């Protein structure tokens, strides 16, 4: 969570409160800014849990609050900020659809699906975890995805050969694994993965690792398809028609991202025009250059990050009238 002090009192300074489970990188960033010559007090880091966040939201000197995290926490922050009529930017959860048509380049579609689900151990809010595959190519697609998922190297993220590291902590690992168990109970088929993993390196054996999971035979009503898992779990569904999959893709309270794989560019643009998502990808996924605005529709948030448009969400417009002549008065 970030909070911006009022420019009239503190300058354009900022307070950054990282997640309590990822406290170190924010401090390193502050050190980098200091070494680069940033003025003292421009970028500040405070650690803590929800109590610290609440104090920042209610503090009278904080003019703007920006939060990245879950929908329930975002709702609470918006409510707290409303007490002081503070501006908010919220980048919340996602349950994004990835639609793959039979005329797609299958090799690229598979690559895109893997990037859309397993990047950063699946701990990416914009991940395309609902993978809709046109029925005619479903068996071929699933076979290739499962083969490549099996081949993902799990271990030390500092090694060049590693493609998947550990999840953020033990409770989160247990939560992700419980989603897999729930999916099995609801009728999904575990095509691969979804189990705790113990690396061969003795130094890593206490880590929070799991094998990346692909779920088949999924339906839109299943928990794994409706709720954000935030882990390396891909849910594969089939579809028959464009209109059908569009309706199913939009049938969610969230709208952070969406993807379409097809060689038909007319269809691709027709779909992304109707997909209710803040970031749409055609024949690729999870490409997020800093020059391009990022943010969600619906309960995935308000406001934008990255790109020049972001300045609008971190500044206030002031209108000034200056009269150089006589006042034209009706009185």
Active site residue 244: no
Beta bridge partners of 45: 16
Compute φ and ψ for 290, nearest 5 degrees.
-70, -15
| Spatial separation of the C-alpha atoms in residues 169 and 172, rounded to whole Å | 6
Q: 47 Cβ partners below 8 Å, 6+ apart?
A: 17, 18, 20, 23
| Spatial separation of the C-alpha atoms in residues 184 and 303, rounded to whole Å | 37
Q: Which residues of 124-137 are buried (b: 16+ CB within 10 A; e: fewer)?
A: bbbbbbbbbbbeeb
Beta bridge partners of 189: 216
Residue 277 · residue 297 · CB < 8 Å: yes
Residue among 40, 79, 91, 312 flagged as catalytic: 91
Query: Quick one: tokens of 304?
Result: 């934008």
| Spatial separation of the C-alpha atoms in residues 229 and 122, rounded to whole Å | 8
| Spatial separation of the C-alpha atoms in residues 164 and 37, rounded to whole Å | 35
* C-alpha pair distances (Å), 51 with each of 20, 28, 46, 77, 146: 11, 23, 12, 12, 43
Query: Quick one: tokens of 312?
Result: 């609008």
| Spatial separation of the C-alpha atoms in residues 75 and 91, rounded to whole Å | 11
DSSP string, 80-136: HHHTTT-EEEEE-----EEEE-TTS-HHHHHHHHHHHHHGGGG--TT---EEEEEGG
- Cα–Cα nearest to 252, from 68, 75, 96: 96
* C-alpha pair distances (Å), 132 with each of 98, 137, 233, 249: 6, 11, 14, 8
Catalytic center residues: 91
């Amino acid at each position: 969570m970030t909070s911006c002090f009022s420019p009239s009192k503190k300058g354009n300074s900022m307070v950054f409160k990282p997640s309590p489970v990822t406290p170190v990188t924010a401090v390193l960033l502050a050190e980098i800014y200091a070494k680069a010559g940033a003025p003292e007090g421009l970028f500040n880091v405070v650690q803590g849990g929800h109590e610290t966040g609440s104090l920042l939201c209610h503090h009278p000197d904080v003019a703007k609050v920006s939060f990245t995290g879950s929908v329930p926490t975002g709702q609470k922050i918006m409510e707290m900020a409303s007490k002081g009529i503070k501006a908010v930017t919220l980048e919340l959860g996602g349950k994004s659809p990835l639609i793959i048509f039979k005329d797609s380049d299958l090799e690229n579609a598979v690559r895109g699906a893997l990037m859309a689900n397993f990047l950063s151990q699946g701990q990416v809010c914009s991940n395309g975890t609902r993978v809709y595959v046109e029925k005619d190519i479903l068996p071929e697609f699933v076979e290739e995805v499962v083969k490549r998922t099996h081949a993902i190297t799990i271990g030390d993220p500092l090694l060049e050969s590693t493609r998947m590291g550990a999840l953020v902590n033990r409770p989160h690992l247990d939560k992700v694994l419980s989603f897999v168990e729930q999916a099995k109970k609801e009728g999904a088929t575990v095509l691969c993965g979804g189990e705790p993993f113990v690396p061969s390196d003795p130094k890593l054996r206490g880590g929070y690792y799991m094998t990346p999971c692909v779920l088949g035979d999924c339906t839109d009503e299943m928990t794994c398809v409706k709720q954000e898992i935030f882990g390396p779990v891909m849910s594969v569904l089939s579809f028959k028609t464009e209109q059908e999959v569009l309706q199913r893709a939009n049938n969610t309270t969230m709208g952070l991202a969406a993807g379409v794989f097809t060689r038909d560019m007319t269809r691709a643009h027709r779909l992304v025009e109707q997909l209710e998502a803040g970031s749409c990808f055609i024949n690729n996924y999870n490409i997020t250059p800093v020059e391009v605005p990022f943010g969600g529709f619906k309960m995935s948030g308000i406001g934008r990050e990255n790109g020049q448009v972001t300045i609008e969400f971190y500044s206030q417009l002031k209108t000034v009238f200056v009269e150089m002549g006589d006042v034209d008065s009706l009185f």
